[in-house]
Amino acid sequence: MTVILGIETSCDETAAAVVRRTAPDAPGEILASTVYSQIEDHAAFGGVVPEIAARAHVEGLDAIVARALAEAGLGFGDIDAVAVTAGPGLIGGLLVGVMTAKAIATARGLPLVAVNHLEGHALTPRLTDGLAFPYLLLLVSGGHTQILMVNDLGDYRRWGTTIDDALGEAFDKTAKLLGLPYPGGPAVEREAAGGDAKRFALPRPMKGEDRLDFSFSGLKTAVRREATRLAPLGDQDVADLCASFQAAVTDTLRDRVERAFARYRDEVADGPADLVVAGGVAANSAIRAMLGDVCTRNDFTLHAPPLNLCSDNAAMIAWAGLEHFERGETSDMEIAPRSRWPLDPFAETLIGAGKRGAKA
């Protein structure tokens, strides 16, 4: 049995969790997962303020770790290793988490495992469902929109990425433009439920192109143009713009995913296969419904994490650390946090991609 303490401080959630696995190749068990969200701290600014986020991590992380251990009914003596997000993310927050993890590991004589935040998202279905390699991953978050081939632990090949805005960023900026509260994704989804998705003919960027990359900057600009034309906006205008925006996003993702399925059939294997959707935007119900439909029609099984594991959390970090620890892969105490840390180090850098942001 392996028991791992995980720490996550890459953006605006201060989180700690305890995860265990009782047998090789079995799914994991979350003994505790504690998250302090800083949404109220940043809401007035319409986005995450790095200095405020780092200060909140400093003030709250020790208590969050203690609470996670208490909920698990364990002490530090029951832990086999400490896993911590070492990147990508906001460097101030990463420093808080990494230094705290190093202090615990040093004081308690425990191994340290530095985890890539994106890998935590990628491996979540192995924690919850025991999903076997390989599988396709659609990563949709505030800082990343990518399609990756997950071949094995530590073996990730990027097939497509955004060339400008990440999808979560596009949701947030659209919400801010329309006067909706932060965080923007849930606000846009709520408004879209009462809107007419056909009222505005918004573009579907990259749709129809063979390459699997994404682009959302033009879509965001189109929303701004329509909003400016109609100003001042009424409640129904806002709802219709949100519905039209969400429909354009969904159509674009459908096209990208179907093309990824075709590539999978050509390069990997025929027959049943698996698609994982992960990241904060994976909580969007319209996107989940579309992915379920497209997977059914293409003989793929969709794996979507529970909503509490879509947003940033420490359970996924603990699990990724557990997988590496069980393979004998631990980190040196000299490990430093990284604001940028691509899952696929061999992928070509695209102009406009990987901009510095919440998780660039």
Percent share of the chain, pLDDT over 70 = 97
Residue range of the domain that includes 65: 2-128+311-326
Closest CA to 131 of 359, 335, 347, 304: 304
Alpha-carbon span 18 to 33, nearest angstrom: 7
pLDDT at 353 over 60: no
| Residue 312: other Cβ atoms inside 10 A | 28
pLDDT at 344 over 80: yes
Instruction: Assess if residue 259 is contained within a domain.
Output: yes
pLDDT at 75 over 70: yes
Same domain, 189 and 320: no
Closest CA to 312 of 1, 49, 15, 39: 15
pLDDT of 237: 98
Alpha-carbon span 87 to 109, nearest angstrom: 23
| 112-116 and 135-140 beta bridge pairing | unpaired
Same domain, 149 and 290: yes
Alpha-carbon span 260 to 70, nearest angstrom: 44
- How confident is the model over 177-213, as pLDDT tens digits? 999 998 899 999 999 999 999 999 999 999 999 999 9
- How confident is the model over 164-185, as pLDDT tens digits? 999 999 999 999 999 999 889 9
- How confident is the model over 271-326, as pLDDT tens digits? 899 999 999 999 999 999 999 999 999 999 999 999 999 989 999 999 999 999 99
pLDDT of 183: 86
Same domain, 145 and 263: yes
pLDDT of 219: 96
Average predicted confidence (pLDDT) for the chain? 94
Same domain, 259 and 290: yes
pLDDT of 355: 44
pLDDT of 44: 78
Same domain, 160 and 301: yes
Instruction: Assess if residue 334 is contained within a domain.
Output: no
Same domain, 147 and 104: no
Same domain, 187 and 89: no
pLDDT of 352: 52
Number of structural domains, the chain?
2
Amino acid 251 reads D
Instruction: Assess if residue 296 is contained within a domain.
Output: yes
Same domain, 316 and 297: no
- Give the residue-averaged pLDDT of 257-268: 97
pLDDT top residue among 47 and 356: 47
pLDDT at 351 over 80: no
Instruction: Assess if residue 187 is contained within a domain.
Output: yes
pLDDT of 67: 97
| Residue 25: other Cβ atoms inside 10 A | 8
pLDDT at 252 over 90: yes
pLDDT of 92: 96
pLDDT of 142: 84
The model carries a pTM of: 0.92
Tokens of 319: 């699990």
Same domain, 90 and 226: no
Instruction: Assess if residue 97 is contained within a domain.
Output: yes
Q: At 234, which CATH number?
A: 3.30.420.40
pLDDT at 354 over 70: no
Question: Using 50, 70 and 90 to split pLDDT, how confident is the model at 37?
Answer: confident
3 state SS of 225: helix
DSSP state of 349: P
- State how far Cα 276 lies from the chain centre: 12
- Give the residue-averaged pLDDT of 11-40: 92
Instruction: Assess if residue 335 is contained within a domain.
Output: no
Least confident of 33-37, 66-70, 291-295: 33-37
pLDDT of 356: 38
Same domain, 288 and 320: no
Least confident of 78-87, 281-290, 349-358: 349-358
Least confident of 22-26, 103-107, 216-220, 223-227: 22-26
Alpha-carbon span 187 to 183, nearest angstrom: 7
Instruction: Assess if residue 351 is contained within a domain.
Output: no
Same domain, 142 and 226: yes
Instruction: Assess if residue 356 is contained within a domain.
Output: no
Same domain, 221 and 92: no
